[in-house]
Amino acid sequence: MNRGRKTLENRTDRFDILNHSPIGMCVIDDAYNVVFWNRCISDWTNIQKENILGKKIQTIYPHFKQSKYKNSFNKIFGVGKPTNFPIQLHGYIFKEKSPNGKPRVQHTTVTAIPAENAGHYYALFAIEDVTEMTHRIKEYKRIRDLALCENKQRKKAEAKLHKSMIELEQTNQKLIEKNIELDQFNYIVSHDLQAPLRTISSFSKFLQKNSGNILSKKSLKYLGFIISASKRMHLLIENLLSLSKSTRTTLNTSEFAVDNCVDDALQSLQSNIDETKAKIDRQNLLKIKGDKILITQLYQNLIGNALKFVDHKEPQINLTVDYEGSTAVFGVLDNGIGISQEFKNSIFEPFKKADSDIKYEGSGLGLAICKKIIERHKGHIWVESNPGEGTHFKFTLGNIN
């Protein structure tokens, strides 16, 4: 007995340098006797070395009797080649738990070490606790999978957005082409209608002037209706042509004073100004770069509205320019009938009028033309008004010095 204990002690002393290793280490001989048990594995298993040295490993861990382990160990004892025991294939060699009660994730390598007797080997178990590393790898994989999933969804969303943008661009292009076709149709039809309309108007006036007593009063009344309708039709066609020109013609850009455009507009409206006894004030209206003819038409339409939409009083019109930050805001302010809130957007659409405007003659295209002109100058138009309190049309223009 003393001789066997002495032999075991000698064996244990041989591996004593491994006692301070930070990983669990133990040694068994080819008879499965435990000949070394270091401090780390003692801490993990709560089995002190004096309680296991010299005993067969199967008495503590019966699963060592399983063939999948015995076959591997026999190869080690026979040929001395090291063997790995990954947990995925072999489970836990030493089924111990960490302080939180969960099983330790271990990676076990068994290496053959020559024994004292030639041709015999010890099996050195190196058990590394990879619990934290495994959890980190799992978390990394989770984050990676989540990132891959989000990236896949993002690429899918980007592809969908790209497809939608292409479809939108195609739709916009088709819309532009249709608008061009519509403008061309509008221009051609309006232009071609002028000749027969002039014929109707001219012969109606000739008939009215030279009928003598041939036509009855009732017939003359109907003839007056034809002439009046011809005038309204002529105005509508002129405005349709103006609307078409405001969108389809190339801008003839130059630098000019807005005051010059106002002068031209007022000259065109002089008979209306005299007839209504309108009073028109203005500020210094700056210089801009734009199409002088279109800006003149813009002011002619806005001032013309201010002269028209008054209720039995002399028009008071003020041509304004104010600043919002660095942006110049032009305007035409009047003392007319005003506009209800519900119509402040629709009045800029073709053929749309406010209810209060119905009794006044007009094609319903004037403000639509104004909007097109301003949009072509990269500006914006809006209205500030209340019924009975006058109207202030305001607009910006893109190119201003």
The pLDDT tens digits of the residues spanning 337-351 come to 888 888 888 888 876
What is the pLDDT at residue 90?
A: 46
Is residue 332 predicted with pLDDT exceeding 90? Answer: yes
For residue 171, give every residue at least 6 positions away whose Cβ sits within 8 Å of its Cβ, in sequence order, or none: none
| Selection from 383, 346, 340 nearest residue 368 by Cα | 346
Percent of the chain whose pLDDT exceeds 70: 78
Neighbours of 208 (CB within 10 A): 15
Domains of the chain, by residue range, sit at: 7-135, 251-396
The domain 251-396 having CATH identifier 3.30.565.10: the answer here is: yes
Gap between the Cα atoms of 31 and 81, Å rounded: 17
Ranking 109-118, 128-137, 192-201 by mean pLDDT, the lowest is 192-201
* Contact indicator for 369, 301 with CB cutoff of 8 Å: yes
| Selection from 181, 223, 186 nearest residue 205 by Cα | 223
| For range 279-283, the mean pLDDT | 89
Please say whether the dihedral angle defined by the alpha carbons of residues 258, 259, 264 and 267, taken in this order, is positive or negative: positive
Percent of the chain whose pLDDT exceeds 90: 17
| Stated pTM of the model | 0.48
Is residue 46 predicted with pLDDT exceeding 80? Answer: yes
The domain 7-135 having CATH identifier 3.30.450.20: the answer here is: yes
Tokens of 271: 């008979």
Is residue 390 predicted with pLDDT exceeding 70? Answer: yes
- 34 versus 310: which is more confidently predicted? 34
Report how far apart, in Å, the C-alpha atoms of 236 and of each of 194, 276, 299 are.
10, 23, 19
